[in-house]
């Protein structure tokens, strides 16, 4: 059944790819974004560039609001304009390094922002009626409340902290995060858990992403980080395209097959499809309370394996140098993905070669990202 879905942070990397798959699945999509980390599309444009391209690719249409989730009144007015069935909540800051430098910015955006979103969702009021029996009587006002209590949350494998056991299952302890970004994801999950325990009307699906990479097949949308990329794949691809000199590989003395860090990379389109499946599940009403699913492939690749696969996909050499380990990095992290397979009917289909090919296709067609 087609739903009306509000997507916060819809102009970003994961957001735009998910909006695309939601449109493909026949849903109506309302997007919010404060554009703090997305290309606005130039003066006079009503849509950020990523969503313009999503419309071109799908032939569908997105309603967009340039709204910050911390602006309670603006958020309310969006909920009052549309009859929203459920929310997919991406809006958050995500740069680990910046979070260590300006922690309050991260806590305000990610925790306060989410709390305000959740409060506004619960309060949604679709209208009111005013009744009185006699003209001289005090009127009684009835509000038609229609809170929205279904949300998919953009969480992260970072909530597991240092893995005590691999692969990481959803029951692995959370907390012990080493940076404010990670803590903000962990705290937000705890807040949502408490909310579900306090009020049975809520259903939260928290999706713990491993390492999203790749781009849509069209090469029209992809990851477009501001400044120096924080993550491996966009860094490699900027080296391959000549925007950056050389990749720094942080440590080659980890306890892994080739000594470099091992991560569970997942193709962004697989990830986006996971969100569509999560919404089907949410809308189906067969789950309730706070539910968590890992979204990964279940297979880890080392930094050097990714470099090699990217060289092959791009036909370019990717220069790298080995430097010291980076504080807070773990040797290896990959998901147990059986729960999402069983309960959501979702499994990642795209392998490392396809991740690299699609990243390269996006990069070479958009060497400077959305700004062109």
Binding stretches for its own copies (CB under 8 A): 100-104, 107-108, 111-112, 115-116, 118-119, 175, 179-180, 183, 187, 190-191, 194-195, 197-198
Minimum CB separation from its own copies for residue 323, in Å? 23
CB of 5 to its own copies, least distance (A): 22
- Can you tell me the distance from the alpha carbon of 86 to that of 207, in angstroms, rounded to the nearest whole number? 15
Asked whether the beta carbons of 340 and 347 are under 8 A apart, the reply is yes
Tell me how far, at minimum, the Cβ of 189 lies from its own copies, in Å: 11
Q: Measure the CA–CA gap between 165 and 186, rounded to whole angstroms.
A: 19
Least distance from C-beta 280 to its own copies, angstroms? 27
Q: Is 65 a catalytic residue?
A: no
Name the minimum Å distance from CB 173 to its own copies.
10
The answer to whether 151 and 196 have CB atoms below 8 angstroms apart is no
Q: Would you say 182 or 214 has its CB closer to its own copies?
A: 182
The answer to whether 174 and 290 are in contact (CB under 8 A) is no
Beta-carbon contacts of 10 under 8 Å, excluding residues fewer than 6 positions away, are: 16, 18, 19, 29, 31, 32, 33, 51, 62, 64, 90
Angle at 19 between CA 17 and CA 20, to 5 degrees: 65
Closer to its own copies by Cβ: residue 117 or 240 = 117
| Closer residue to its own copies, CB minimum distance, 183 or 267 | 183
Beta strands in 117-202 (DSSP E): 125-131, 140-145, 150-156
Find the catalytic residue in 153, 181, 186, 235. Answer: 181
Q: Of 353, 331, 336, which is closest to residue 262 (Cα–Cα)?
A: 331
> What angle separates helix 232-240 from helix 352-365, to the nearest 10 degrees?
50
Query: What is the smallest separation between the CB atom of 103 and its own copies, expressed in angstroms?
Result: 4
Phi, psi of 315 (to 5 degrees): 65, 20
Question: Measured from the CB atom, is 63 or 108 closer to its own copies?
Answer: 108
Among residues 13 and 186, whose Cβ is nearest to its own copies? Answer: 186
Q: Are 99 and 106 in contact (CB under 8 A)?
A: yes
Instruction: Return the structure tokens found at 352.
Output: 């490392």
Kindly state the DSSP code that residue 201 receives in the 8-state scheme: T
The closest of 298, 290, 285, 309 to 332, measured between CA atoms, is 298
d(CA 114, CA 127): 25
Query: Closest approach of Cβ 107 to its own copies, in Å?
Result: 5
Nearer to its own copies, 136 or 198 (CB): 198
Cβ proximity to its own copies, 104 vs 135, nearer residue: 104
User: Could you list the active site residues?
Assistant: 181
């Amino acid at each position: 059944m087609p739903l009306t879905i509000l997507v916060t942070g819809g102009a970003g990397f994961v957001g735009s790819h998910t909006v695309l798959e939601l449109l493909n699945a026949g849903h109506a999509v309302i997007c919010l974004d404060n554009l703090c980390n997305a290309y606005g599309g130039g003066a006079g444009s009503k849509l950020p560039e990523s969503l313009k391209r999503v419309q071109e690719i799908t032939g569908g249409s997105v309603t967009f609001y340039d709204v910050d989730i911390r602006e309670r009144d603006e958020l309310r007015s969006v909920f009052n304009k549309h009859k929203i069935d459920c929310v997919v909540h991406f809006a958050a800051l995500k740069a680990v390094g910046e979070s260590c430098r300006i922690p309050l910015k991260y806590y305000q955006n990610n925790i306060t922002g989410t709390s305000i979103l959740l409060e506004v969702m619960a309060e949604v009021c679709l209208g009111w009626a005013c009744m009185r029996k006699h003209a001289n009587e005090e009127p009684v006002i009835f509000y038609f409340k229609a809170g929205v209590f279904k949300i998919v949350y953009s969480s992260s494998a970072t909530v597991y902290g240092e893995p005590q056991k691999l692969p990481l299952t959803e029951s692995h302890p959370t907390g012990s995060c080493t940076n404010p970004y990670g803590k903000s994801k962990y705290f937000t999950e705890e807040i949502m858990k408490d909310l579900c325990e306090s009020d049975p009307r809520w259903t939260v699906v928290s999706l713990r992403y491993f390492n999203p990479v790749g781009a849509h097949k069209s090469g029209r949308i992809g990851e477009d980080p501001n400044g120096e990329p924080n993550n491996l794949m966009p860094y490699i691809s900027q080296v391959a395209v000549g925007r950056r000199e050389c990749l720094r590989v942080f440590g080659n003395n980890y306890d892994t097959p080739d000594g470099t860090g091992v991560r569970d990379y997942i193709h962004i389109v697989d990830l986006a499809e996971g969100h569509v499946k999560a919404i089907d599940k949410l809308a189906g009403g067969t789950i309730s309370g706070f539910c968590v699913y890992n979204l990964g492939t279940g297979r880890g690749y080392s930094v050097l394996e990714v470099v090699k696969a990217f060289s092959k996909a791009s036909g370019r050499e990717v220069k790298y140098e080995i430097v010291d380990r980076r504080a807070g990095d773990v040797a290896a992290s990959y998901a147990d993905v059986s729960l999402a397979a069983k309960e959501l009917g979702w499994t990642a289909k795209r392998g490392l070669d396809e991740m690299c090919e699609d990243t390269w296709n996006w990069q070479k067609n958009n060497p400077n990202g959305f700004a062109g």
